[in-house]
Chain A
Amino acid sequence: MSDRTIDRVAAATPPPVARKIRGLSDRAIAWIFVAPTIFLLLAINIFPLIWTIRLSFTNYRANRLTREPEFIGLRNYERILTDSDIWLNMQATAHFLFWTIFFQVLIGFTLAWLINKKFKGNDLWTTIIVLPMMLSPAVVGNFWKFLYQPQIGLFNYIVSFFTGKDPSSFEMLGQVNLAPWSIVIVDTWMWTPFVMLICLAGLRSIPDYIYEAAEIDRASKLRQFFTITIPMVLPFLMLAVLFRGIENFKMFDLVVQLTGGGPGSVTELTSINLKREAFEKWRTGYASAYAIILFVTVFGLASIYVKALNKVKER
């Protein structure tokens, strides 16, 4: 597969450009330039992926070197898809995905809209707001755990300062009803700037003359907002949602540091569950099937979404 692709790459490079050349031909250069990247991806992405697919039909365990793995067909897939606990993990993931995207779009868009009012110093403040999203999620999770400590944590203190609630009366990370929100809050804190930046680019891409024309037509500000601003920003917003969706579907490091999946299993997102299966229980074959299911889900959802996105763009 790879060789053929490369050959086609080389073959298709137009020879005319290579006219006055003393050195390598363009074909050769294209070949040489692309090959290492493709090779690396084949070795560290595609080959392992194929290996994972193969493993997913076996009962292989990476910690039992002495035991011959057996081919067990679709048994792993069957087990995963009928496991009610895994569906609970999926639900937790869906809850996390939905609410993080909801809040990030809401706050991110509002912020972008405000920044686009071009007040003095907006560049400086934008840079400051952007900082959290560049940080290491695991480290962020770790120090938010400190902020969430019952009794001593700053978060509880601030909440109690404004609401008068006793700071030791609630535990963001330990209570079944609060823990799913605790991870939504941190993710929103961290990634709202991402959505904001993309929305800002969208807002800035709208040429002034469109608003000017609307103004001449005496369209109200509200009407302008819904007929010009929103539709023009929508493709950008959808792109932001795509990125956040993929990233949060894979979410591992932040949540593992914050709650470790607890209390019970209420914040056990699929990635955390997958890690337990693969690297704590060492059910390699089973975990491989699980990984393939997750990959197909992301890939499928993303492909459908990209199609929708392209439609919106075309309009």
Chain B
Amino acid sequence: MSYSKLAAASAIAIAATGVASTAQAEDLTLCWAAWDPANALVELSKEFEAQSGHTMNFEFVPWPNFADRMLNELNSGGKLCDLLIGDSQWIGGGAENGHYVKLNDFFDAEGISMDDFAPATVYAYSTWPKGTPNYYALPAMGDANGWFYRKDWFARDDIKAAYKEATGQDLREPQSQKEMLQIAQFFQGREIDGKTVYGAAIFTERGSEGITMGVTSALYPWGFKYENTPGSYDMAGAVNSPEAVEALEFYKEFYETATPPGYTNSYMGESLDAFKSGQVAMAMNWFAFFPGLYADPATGGDKIDFFVNPPQNIAASTLGGQGISVVSYSDKQDAALEYIKWFAQPDVQAKWWELGGYSAHNSVLQDPGFVDSQPFAGDFLEAMDGVQDFWQEPAYAELLLAMQKRIHDYVVADQGTAQEALDKLIEDWTEVFEDEGKL
């Protein structure tokens, strides 16, 4: 009891020095992935620079290298980043290996309450061990894997008629995974305005996390679970359940019959390219890109619309998004905390959403005008209601690499069966957890 009081007191002391050091202008570096929202954050941060006198520098790393480089940076105890907007799965490692500063005392001292943020985002981006009130990050960017499609094509009478003739159904935003595949197959190889188009762009990337993020968008709706009982690491029968096998086979069929040629190693950039160049009728990607897609002069505006990852057995989406953390190796932690304090304010969060960032703050999300503020805002709320994330264990990288390999070997390189792929995945994961001493 007295210990926690002491901790609180020292936290206040830290906060006090934080205030005191405001006079001293620091050069802060914030690290994140190089993508649309990062540019919005640069814009947003100008206000912080003006208010605090600190200078913000940014190190944005392209997604395919982001995890590699940032985890390398953390593991080498580097001082490059003072603030890091790290991927949700890093939280376990960040907390257990001491890369991230624990924020509880700071939150208490500054009156920042995690109850002000959407519960799914707090759970996913901030807590370790999962679901406990131990916070290592502030939810910075809510995100999930969603879909968008060519509204103009879906609305054309000739196409609608052809679809009706081919399938006996009306062409509409897909209401299930299987309907989505059917629509994609319908568009695959079709001539539209003298150009051959294809069904959909999906994630198949091998090097970082691409195909896992893509395939889980099928696995989760089929009811895939990582464990039979949460926290038990008991995976046999869950990871390789009949539903999981069916979902994996579905993803392979999707890849083989409804995606453009050459998309054997594609992730966010390739998906955007495929859609913007008018090659595909639909594409999956993170909500983070939706503002940019909507603004695109060629395929945005009234030519595009968005939908949540369709349900199959249940409704579920793959979680993306990140929390913002203070790196424990930084010499400028006070100024970094100041940034987080500033960022957590409701009006800053409102502006964040306005500029194209996905705020996780309740004041923004529960605002009556939110749903209509953007064409994808309602979808975003719906998606965040059913998000599931990959393992967030400290050993997440090993778990992810194993899944990347097994899934890519099966889906793209066409080796073995879905059942074998998932069985082998359980073996790999079991080995990891045994090494971890958790099994």
Interface residues of chain A, those whose CB is within 8 Å of chain B, are 59, 62-66, 85, 149-151, 168-169, 171, 173-176, 260-266, 276, 279-283
Contact = CB atoms under 8 A, between A and B. Distances in A.
Interface in B386-418: 394, 397-398, 401, 405, 408-410, 412-415
Contact of B397 (A59, A265, A281): A281
B98 interface: yes
B169 interface: no
A176 B413 contact: yes
A151 B261 contact: yes
A260 B261 contact: no
Contact of A262 (B93, B98, B207, B398): B207
Contact of A280 (B68, B74, B96, B98): B68
A167 B84 CA distance: 43
Given A263-B206, A264-B413, A281 B264 contact: no
B97 interface: yes
Nearest to B416: A264
B68 A263 contact: no
Nearest to B395: A281
Contact of A174 (B98, B264, B405, B409): B264
A59 B75 CA distance: 17
A266 B397 contact: no
A263 B412 contact: yes
Interface of B: 68, 71-72, 74-75, 93, 96-98, 206-207, 261-265, 394, 397-398, 401, 405, 408-410, 412-415, 435
A171 B75 contact: no
A63 B261 CA distance: 39
A276 B397 CA distance: 10
A263 B265 CA distance: 7
Nearest to A168: B261
Contacts of A262: 206-207, 264-265, 408, 412-413
Contacts of B398: 281-283
Contact of A65 (B98, B262, B264): B98
Given A176-B413, A263-B206, A282-B75, A63 B264 contact: no
Nearest to B428: A85
A262 B410 CA distance: 12
If over half of A's interface residues share one DSSP class (helix, strand or loop), that class is named, otherwise mixed; here it is loop
A263 B413 contact: yes
B415 to A, nearest CB: 6
18 contacts: A63-B71, A65-B97, A85-B405, A151-B261, A173-B264, A173-B265, A174-B264, A174-B412, A175-B264, A260-B207, A261-B206, A262-B207, A262-B264, A262-B413, A264-B206, A264-B410, A280-B68, A283-B435
Contacts of A263: 206, 264-265, 408, 412-413
A265 B413 contact: yes
Most buried by A among B98, B409, B435: B409
Contacts of B72: 279
Given A175-B264, A262-B265, A280-B397, A63 B68 contact: no
A169 B405 CA distance: 25
Contacts of A276: 401
B78 to A, nearest CB: 13
Contacts of A261: 206-207
A280 B265 contact: no
A72 B249 CA distance: 40
B265 A260 contact: yes
B207 to A, nearest CB: 4
A59 B395 CA distance: 14
